[in-house]
A and B are shown apart, each in its own frame.
Chain A
Amino acid sequence: MTRAALPAVDRPARRIVRVGRVGLGRRPSGPLAGEERWAWLFLAPTLLGLAVLSAGPILAAFAIALTKWDLLTAPAFVGLDNFTALLRDAHFATALRNTSFYTVTSVPLGLVLGLGLALALNERVRGMTWIRTAYFLPVVTSTTAIALVWLWIYSPQGGLLNQGLTAIGLPPQRWIADPFWAMPAIVVMSVWQGLGITVIVFLAGLQGIPTEYYDAAAVDGAGRWARFRNVTLPLLTPSVFFTGILALISSFQVFDQVYVLARPGKPTDATATLVYFIYENGFKNFKMGYAAAASWILFLIVAVLTAIYFRSQRRWVHYQ
């Protein structure tokens, strides 16, 4: 590599980012005539799938949301009654609060831990492939199996966690069975379970950062922290953005962790989430219209948050 190929080398690391931004603005001119046809062809399977399997059900759910329907007898049109009833439903408010708690805690926690682990795993150490595989294992393991193991960890009677607490002289807790600890306990398990995805994406992002930037920064006298702050972090923002949006959306859809872990028997006010609320009403309480209305509110919340998140990327996401 010659210096000529590295325009950024003799500038402070901070300015590299600016260069990257310029690159973002320099879009290639429009596709050639033949290319456009191919693009649509390649997009077609996904677009078709989205239209049939996502857009269709979303619209159908909205139609159902305007009815009183028990699944078994004919639906009756009730206008926006389901939506107004939801706003007055204390159980819905509880589910919304529990879900928000889950999102606000699990998303940042997952990102920070994932980043730390990715940095550690990015070092060239013997046996790293095995360690990376180990971290990815929970991602491909069934939530039910994971939850059963965590139930044992959290068990108030001789569970692993309580054994540890007792060993260091702290009082044992009831964890899942305690309304105060139940949701944090579920968050911790979920973060652990989802860590693999975040780490893999961050690792890919880290390895995509050209070493030249670090060399240049080193030449400029940047220390370890300065290199992280001014090279690694800015160039990793696309990965942060990507994993962040995945985590945000999936956190609002949290269901199986709660469903399997929650005690006694099923989620209560301490742990019921929006999707559990939808499931309970639709399939247990014969209120499919009500459940559909709740699912639309969930859809709107996720859509609005995603839109805000997308708009925010201009301010903090740096593409090379």
Chain B
Amino acid sequence: MNGRSSSGRLRTLSVAAAILGLVVAACGSGPAASSAASSAAASTVAASSSTAAGSAGASGGASASTAASPAASPSAAGYQGPPVTIEYAIWGDPQEITNQKKIVDAFHAKNPAITVNVTVADWDAYWDKLQTGLAGGAAPDVFAMDGPLFPDYQTRDVLLDLRPYIERDGYDLSQLAEQGVKDFTTPDGGQYGLPRDLNVIALYYNKKMFDAAGVAYPDDTWDWQKLVDTAKKLTKDTNKDGKPDQWGFYTETTDMENFWLSLVWENGGDVLGTDGKTTALGSPEAAGGIQFLQDLIYKDKVMADPAIFAETGDAFEQGKAAMEANGSWLVPTHTAAGIDFGVAPLPKGPTGRFTSVNPTGAVIAKSTKAPDAAWEFVKYLTGPDAQQQLMQLHQALPVAKTVLDGPFATAYPGADVFASALQYARLKPSFKGYNEFTTVLQGELDENVFNAPKKTAKEALGEIAPQLDALLAAG
């Protein structure tokens, strides 16, 4: 599950529709036919890229479509094929959707031959629709991809390798944030998508609460102990009913991305072992990181038991917590809530400072009938114009370095903290079978560690690690 306020997400789903899609998928000759078509397209591209290699400066001129229709001029840059309509599928909230549509309109103005239809769904329905669409041969041409789920799609051969297009156009990958690019790279050198935007984790703090308590704002000198000490000072029971009505700290416990992944790294642990085939969560280092979060709730008592805010949502947003470790996507939420907040780096742990970065990518379906138009659009999404537009939302970090290191840093107070967090950020784990792995893991942690202290982190992880290893072994 994605880190974005999973608890508050309004979910609707029609199982009937999904199963109908499955039936259609079973009946159609979808996958076989489409993979044949796309491999034909890929070979055309390979042919045209070899000719383009000789003529320097003719970047982006050749395409599968021009190969098919030699009348088109190869000299001008950009898409040269016949008018085409492609589908771009995304998940997101209404603001994100409006913003993405603006990007699409600007793209169409520059590339009148390409019309992009944006289709939207909420997080859960998005993946259901995508899978049935891919299976039934009705996949969108370009679609958003969550970093951790990428291997589940890439290994099933439904994504187009962009490497031939990158080489053909001389597209410079180093213009994008490295971590973002890396998340969509395969060990054999394939590049099956480009990052569209990035999310990192930092520490939000409520300036009013800090001022009222006369406590200095968090900064880059903070460590775990300082976090606990300060949070204690900011946890207050003003109406004396025995329960705090202002908490020192808040975070979401239901996904590793929100906080506990960074804690595991800051304590020298990791989710997967170096071989990528077994989990490293059974180690004392990993347990120590998760234990720190359990202690914030039940030992230090500076954070409310997660059930308290499970229905009403973010405690920081409601002005009921002085600090929150969470993602860059919450900036518009906290701003809309009228919170006067600042952003600081996550406090240092025993083995240093780490945070999590998770890219959302733009990928192309291997089955697309318009790979050139799709590629042109994906390139545009990572370009300065689209990235500037994306930045306006203050919702995610741009991936284009010119924007990330340029205008973004001053886009809003604290943006520079998110941008510089990339220097000590590690990629959120991404591997085949990610969903099942995290469902089993998070189920154990939620029930026995975070929602109730039935087990210590060490006990819970020790029990669950063999199950997780079995899942990884089964692939």
Contact = CB atoms under 8 A, between A and B. Distances in A.
Are A and B bound to each other? yes
A71 B131 contact: yes
A154 B312 CA distance: 11
Nearest to B443: A268
Interface string A209-236: 0000000000000000000000000000
A72 B131 contact: yes
Given A57-B23, A72-B156, A283-B127, A144 B10 contact: yes
B446 A70 contact: no
Interface string A33-71: 000000000000000000000001100100010000011
A154 B311 contact: yes
Contact of A256 (B10, B13, B128): B13
B287 interface: no
Contact of A264 (B19, B25, B253): B253
B416 interface: no
A72 B439 contact: no
B127 A284 contact: yes
Given A57-B23, A264-B451, A148 B10 contact: yes
A281 B22 CA distance: 14
Interface residues of B, number: 47
B307 interface: yes
Contacts of B310: 156, 176-177, 263-264
A228 B11 CA distance: 45
Contact of B307 (A64, A156, A255, A283): A156
Contacts of A252: none
Interface string B1-42: 100001101111101001100110110000110000000000
Interface string A71-97: 111100000000000000001000000
A266 interface: yes
B436 interface: yes
Interface residues of A, number: 45
B447 A270 contact: yes
Given A144-B10, A157-B309, A265-B7, A73 B26 contact: no
A155 B439 CA distance: 24
Interface in B125-173: 127-128, 131-132, 134-135, 152-153, 156-158
A179 interface: yes
A159 to B, nearest CB: 7
Contacts of B462: none
A148 B7 CA distance: 12
B23 A286 contact: no
Contacts of B18: 279, 283
Contacts of A154: 311
A71 B134 contact: yes
A152 B446 CA distance: 21
Interface of A: 56-57, 60, 64, 70-74, 91, 142, 144, 148, 151-152, 154-157, 159, 174, 176-179, 255-256, 259-260, 263-266, 268-270, 275, 279-280, 282-286, 288
> Nearest 9 A-B pairs (CB), nearest first?
A177-B307, A265-B6, A72-B156, A155-B311, A285-B436, A264-B254, A174-B307, A71-B135, A263-B310
Given A260-B11, A268-B447, 6 more contacts: A72-B134, A72-B153, A177-B307, A179-B447, A265-B254, A285-B433
13 contacts: A72-B131, A72-B156, A156-B311, A176-B311, A177-B306, A177-B310, A177-B451, A178-B307, A264-B7, A284-B127, A285-B436, A285-B439, A286-B152
